[in-house]
Structure 1
Amino acid sequence: MDDRSKHDHSGWEEVVLAARERARTRQALMVERFGLSGDVQYHWSMDDAQIAWSRDGKVFLTGRLTMIGSVSRPQRSWLWSWANESLPHPVLGDIERVRRFGEENDHPVLPWPGFDYHPELVAEARLVAASVLDAELLWAESTGDVELHFLVHDLTLTAG
């Protein structure tokens, strides 16, 4: 779908506003509840779609990752994970639901495979994806010229 003439702008703004408030509240609560600041280390893997946080070498929290998409800094572009054939299947999670939500609600930025990088539009797309997939956290990782954007689900405290 690349029909850029169809777009419910006011509907998009409402969805983004609700998603932004949801993420702000949930993100702050999870960081505080699980102590995800300070001397915390983490390890993540796209192959098994997992992230683990540790302190003093002991894992205390795990979660499941869904990759939302990536930003190529040299190309100044965003690519949705559902459109990236090089990703391991587990890290895609239910990302197709975000694409379908965009199609069903005339929010074309969600079903476009990619778009020119605009920081605010990327932020909005991430927030809406987090809301649609009921994520507990948004998370990003920069590697060289690429920013990887993820959702974190199913946070579980471990006995570690």
Structure 2
Amino acid sequence: MDPDWYAAWREEAFEQLRAKNRRLQDDFRLGSWSRYNYDLKAGKLLFSEQGVVTVVSEIQIAGSTSVEAGNWLWAWANSNWPSEFITDARSARSFGKEHGIGDLTRDYVTDEDLDALGWKLTSAVTRICNACGAYRSPPDDGVGLYLILKSISWAS
């Protein structure tokens, strides 16, 4: 059972993330670029237009949702991700262990609305690690990847 304060804390984290992402939309036009790529060797998310990279963000991986599996899988529970890009997810897990929050400590989390669940859990990571925002890749074959944006800038 989660602490009494957790539901309100998570909702506040979600609202904070929405505000951060609105600023990123206004300042960097996130959500409007024709293409994105993530480079896990460099730990970057690249947004481009007509083959030209325009915006660069340093990233961490929060987790992913799968329609087929019907769940959220934390990045720290997925052996496919490089360890240097899941430190924020691990910090969320440590926070969850310290405060007895099941959603932050179980490998898998289920909910009927996976998109909402993904954003809520990502917002918790964003708040815990004081990130500047988050991004969800467009679902591909029912899988959504949730990334934490550590920094963002215009490409030089």
Match of 1:59 among 53, 58, 61: 53
- 1:145 and 2:142 aligned: yes
Contact 1:79 1:114 (8 Å CA) reproduced: yes
Residues of 2 paired with 1:71 and 1:92: CA distance?
Answer: 16
- The corresponding residue for 2:42 is 48
Structure 2 gap segments, 5+ residues each: none
Please report the TM-score for the alignment, with normalisation by the length of structure 2: 0.86
Preserved CA contact (<8 Å) 2:118 2:146 = no
Letter of the 2:106 counterpart: W
Q: Which piece of structure 1 moves more, 62-71 or 89-98?
A: 89-98
1:30 aligned to 2:24? yes
Please tell me whether residue 109 in structure 1 is matched to residue 103 in structure 2: yes
Amino acid at match of 1:110: L
Equivalent position of 2:118 in the other structure: 122
**Please, what TM-score do these two structures have when normalized by structure 1?**
0.84
1:66, distance to aligned residue in structure 2 (A): 1.1
Gaps (5+ residues) in structure 1?
A: 1-5
Farther-moved stretch of structure 1 (113-122 vs 149-158): 113-122
CA offset digits 1:77-136 (Å, max 9, x no partner) = 211000111212233133211001111122111011112243244332121111112222
Post-superposition offset of 1:37:
4.3
The 3 A distance-change label for structure 1 pair 74 and 130 is same
Give the Cα–Cα distance (whole angstroms) in 2 for the partners of residues 139 and 37 of structure 1.
Answer: 9
Number of residue pairs aligned between Structure 1 and Structure 2: 153
Preserved contact between residue 130 and residue 138 of structure 1 (Cα < 8 Å): yes
Distance across 1 between alignment mates of 2:50 and 2:119: 33
CA distance in 2, matches of 1:95, 1:115: 14
Q: Matched residue of 2:69: which SS?
A: coil
- In 2 relative to 1, CA 25–19 (structure 1 residues): closer, same or farther, beyond 3 Å? same
Q: Look at both structures and tell me which one has the larger radius of gyration over its CA atoms.
A: 1
Aligned residues with identical type, % of pairs: 19
* 1:26-47 deviation per Cα after TM superposition (whole angstroms, max 9, x unaligned): 1101110112243543221234
- Cα distance in structure 1, aligned partners of 2:45 and 2:109: 28
- Select 2:2's aligned residue among 4, 7, 14: 7
- How far apart are the structure 2 equivalents of 1:135 and 1:114? 23
- Provide closer, same or farther for how the CA distance between residues 40 and 137 of structure 1 changes in structure 2, counting only shifts above 3 A: farther
Instruction: State the partner residue of 2:68.
Output: 74
The whole-number CA distance in structure 2 between the counterparts of 1:18 and 1:64 is 24
SS of equivalent residue, structure 1 residue 118? coil
